[in-house]
Structure formats: structure tokens, C-alpha cells
Amino acid sequence: MNDRPPIVIGAGPAGSRAAATLVAAGYSPIVLDEAPASGGQIYRRAPSGFTRSYRALYGFDAAKARRLHAAFDGIKGSIDYRPGTLVWDLKHGALHCLSNGRSQEISYRDVILAPGARDRIIPFPGWTLPGIYTLGGAQIALKYQGCAIGTRIVFMGTGPLLYLVAYQYAKAGGAIAAVLDTTPFAAKRRAVPGLLRGGSTFAKGLWYVAALRARGIIVANGIRPVAAEEKDAAVSVLAYRSAAGVERRLACDAIAFGFGLSSETQLADLAEIPFTFDPIQQQFLPEHDISGRTPVRGVYLAGDGSGIAGADAAELAGERAALALLEDHGHEVGKPRVAALERALRQIAEFRVTLEAAFPFPVDIAEEMPDDTILCRCEAVTAGEFRSSAHALEADEINRAKAFSRCGMGRCQGRVCGPAAAAVLAAALNLPPERVGRLRGQPPVKPIPMAVVTVHP
């Protein structure tokens, strides 16, 4: 294995822990990460020269962030660490990565994919107006640069991130117009017994909601977005329908929204790992077992890129995948440690089922999307154009519908609009979501400049 060192893609919780595990076994992995510093999205580090404390940056998770960062900094001398590096293609034992305008081919025998996740969004009328961010984007502005996205902000959507980001803004002194949750209160109440088993995760959630209410911030459940309205080329109002069906209008200068997370699965797709539909997470996921092994020899998965389970699970899965890689190369690995990791991962997976039930993906927003709503912002395709092009030439799956309409063919290659587009199509054709399939990944994973210089190793 030393002639071709193992490769870890991503330096978030999963990738950091995988790399540390390989180093502990005597290997010097290559770690490729898009970010300028390790930590991933959740433990993203502030730029150098910023002086905010771990407590200010990561709140309840300060100790975990500190530990993960320290562990990674501790192995930097033992790994080939390449920050600011995009892996844009990967197949059949060779990957291509881009860094500072230079593209390099690296051949690999073993690779651990830990690319993480992104916000899952559902377009609503006006969502492309300036001033509208994803929840994750709003959080990064605050965490990375210490900037707020506005001075009167609406947080809208569902999932744990909704309350966490709103709380972080409130704590930083941001002015919050309201926190609007698409989940009905009843769904959350039903989930309480299961959520209690999640221990601190649930306690933190309650704490955030209580802290927001204590600040006098409106927290509403069971709402549906109607439209974002514009004044002077920026968002000025969010119109929404309350749980009681009353239309309300909230003045604001920024909106942060999101409906849970989607796994970043393009690299797994390019590696030719088969996908199956996960009915709990409502997304297609690359096949893997609890050890992170996939049907493709030498390719391992860890973290939210293989299915959303959160940062704690990502760390465990990163270690487990690295141990699997070591086992596959004939190393003795501690059986009790493997058993403990798998037990903990199973527990988190069970809790995840409850969490998804407490914050269901509000698929009806996609299904009932008005025809004039921009569905694909890269290619400016409306929901109506998408529906009618799918009907006109009889597209019965998402790649066909994409080919006919250009929805999902732009800069983001459907990473942003894909999940909602699949829901729109499924509803238009009256098919279950798994029948319309998933957008196939095509390189590059993210745009690359034409003037890229090819570096030969």
C-alpha cells in the first residue's frame, strides 16, 4: 500500500478521523479537501487572524471542534495534506484534482470518500432574490466571516439546523423577524419519545427553541412558504401561510431557508458505486455497509456523504472506514473497537429514523410548486416548463426530464434543484419518488476553468 498511499477525500469530521486512524497504523495518506483548513462545514475554522473563541464559534460543540482540529493538526506532519483542492473526477483507480488552477491526476488503490453534505432546498416563488440564503450558507457567513446575512432575518424550513442557526444568530446579536418551521407541531410531539433517546441532541434542540422564545422571537410551526417579495432588487417580504391556513406577510431583508441536508454523492457515483433509494432520508444513496465498504473494491464511504447522520456519526464512520481499509490489507484491528464503533453507529442510525420523522421533508411544497416558480436557477427553468417538457416528450425519469428541459444542466449540475425536481416530476407523473430515479453524476463534480494547467506527477 505504500507505493500508492491511501487517499482520503474531505477533511471534515469523517475525513479527519479516517486520516488519523490510518496514520496511527503507520500510513501516510493523501488528504484532499476543498476547504482552506480542516474541520468540514460543521467545524469550519475562522480565517487566520480572526480571534473569536471556540466557545463563540461552536457553542455546545466547542470541545468536539477543538479536539478534532487538534487531532488533525497533530497528524499534519505525517500526511500529504492538500487543502484548497477539488477532486473533480474519479474512476477506475485514477482521480483528478484541481488546486490553484492546476489539475493533477493521482492514481489510487484505496480511497475513502468523505465529501459531506449540502443544504436540501425546495424552491418557492421568489427564492432567487438577493438576500435569500440557505441555512448552511447563513451559518457559514456567521461562523467563517463573522457576518450576518441581514438586519431583519427570517429563518424558514425544517430540521435541526433551522433552530441551531437561528439560535446562533440570536446569540450573536442578529435581529430575527421569525423562525418559521414547516413541520406541524404534532409531528414533533409524536417524535418526542424517540427523540429523548437521542440524549443531548434533543436537549440541545429544546434549549435552542427555548432560548429563541425567551428573546421574544416568534417561532411558528406547520407553515408553508407562499412567496418572497422584492423591493429595490432585494427581498423585502416573506409571505407564508400559517398552520391555520391564514396568509401572513413578514417584512425582512434576508431569508435563510433549508429542509434538511442532502448527501454529496457525485464522487461515489463516478466511482460506479450502485445507488439505492432510502425511504427514510428520501434520497438515493450509494450502497455501503456499516464498515463503509462499498461494492467497488478499494472505495470506502464515511460521513454525511454516504447518508445524513451528523458529525458525531461521521467521526465514528471515518474511523470505521479506515479500519475496514486496514483490515482489507491484512492488518489486525482491535475487534472490540470495531464492535464499539458499529454499535454506536447503529444507535445513531436508529435515532436518525426518529429525527427524520420529527422533521419530515415537506415534499408537498415541491409537488404543489406554482408553474411560474423558477425550479432550476442555473438554467432558469420554471416548474411549469419542466412539467410540460416532461409531458410533451414522455419523460418518465429524471435524467430524461433533465435532457428535455435543461433543468439540472447548469453550473450546479442539479446539486441544488435535483431533489426538488425529482419530487416535482414524481408528482407530475403520479409516480413514487424512487421510480423517477436520480440525476446521474458527470464530471466535473464542480465547474473547472478551461485554462486549467495539467500537471504531470
Chain residues in the site for other proteins (CB under 8 A): 88-89, 91-92, 94, 96, 103, 105, 270, 392-394, 400, 403-404, 409-411, 413, 442-444, 447-452, 454
CB of residue 41 vs other proteins: minimum separation in angstroms? 23
- Which helix (H) or strand (E) segment holds residue 105: the answer is strand 102-107
CB of residue 441 vs other proteins: minimum separation in angstroms? 10
- Which helix (H) or strand (E) segment holds residue 191: the answer is helix 185-196
Residues 453, 105 contacting (CB under 8 angstroms): no
Specify the residue, 92 or 329, whose C-beta has the smaller distance to other proteins.
92
DSSP 59: G
Question: For residue 236, what are the contacts with CB-CB under 8 A and spacing of at least 6?
Answer: 229, 230, 251, 252, 253
- Residue 29's φ and ψ, nearest 5 degrees, are -70, 155
Q: What angle do CA 292, 107, 97 make, to 5 degrees?
A: 85
CB of residue 269 vs other proteins: minimum separation in angstroms? 11
CB of residue 12 vs other proteins: minimum separation in angstroms? 25
d(CA 344, CA 312): 10
CB of residue 119 vs other proteins: minimum separation in angstroms? 20
What angle do the packed helices 135-145 and 160-171 form, to 10 degrees? 30
Residues 358, 195 contacting (CB under 8 angstroms): yes
CB of residue 87 vs other proteins: minimum separation in angstroms? 11
What is the identity of the amino acid at 8? V
CB of residue 418 vs other proteins: minimum separation in angstroms? 14
Q: What is the CA radius of gyration of the chain?
A: 22
Specify the residue, 233 or 450, whose C-beta has the smaller distance to other proteins.
450
Residues 318, 340 contacting (CB under 8 angstroms): no
d(CA 345, CA 335): 15
- Which helix (H) or strand (E) segment holds residue 429: the answer is helix 418-429
Specify the residue, 96 or 120, whose C-beta has the smaller distance to other proteins.
96
- Which helix (H) or strand (E) segment holds residue 117: the answer is strand 117-119
Specify the residue, 89 or 319, whose C-beta has the smaller distance to other proteins.
89
Specify the residue, 243 or 403, whose C-beta has the smaller distance to other proteins.
403
- Ramachandran class of 95: left when φ > 0, alpha when ψ lies in -120 to 50, beta otherwise: beta
Residues forming a β-bridge with 436: none
266: burial class by Cβ within 10 Å (0-12, 13-18, 19+)? buried
Specify the residue, 46 or 409, whose C-beta has the smaller distance to other proteins.
409
Specify the residue, 87 or 219, whose C-beta has the smaller distance to other proteins.
87
Specify the residue, 194 or 443, whose C-beta has the smaller distance to other proteins.
443
CB of residue 383 vs other proteins: minimum separation in angstroms? 19
What angle do the packed helices 13-24 and 311-328 form, to 10 degrees? 30
Question: For residue 51, what are the contacts with CB-CB under 8 A and spacing of at least 6?
Answer: none
CB of residue 449 vs other proteins: minimum separation in angstroms? 6
In 10 A of CB 59, how many CB atoms? 16
Take residue 181 and report the three cell numbers written for it: 418551521
CB of residue 448 vs other proteins: minimum separation in angstroms? 5
Specify the residue, 7 or 154, whose C-beta has the smaller distance to other proteins.
7
Residues 290, 346 contacting (CB under 8 angstroms): yes
CB of residue 91 vs other proteins: minimum separation in angstroms? 6
CB of residue 380 vs other proteins: minimum separation in angstroms? 9
d(CA 365, CA 37): 37
- Smallest CA-to-CA distance from 251 within 150, 148, 135 is with 150
Specify the residue, 66 or 400, whose C-beta has the smaller distance to other proteins.
400
Specify the residue, 17 or 96, whose C-beta has the smaller distance to other proteins.
96
Specify the residue, 201 or 388, whose C-beta has the smaller distance to other proteins.
388
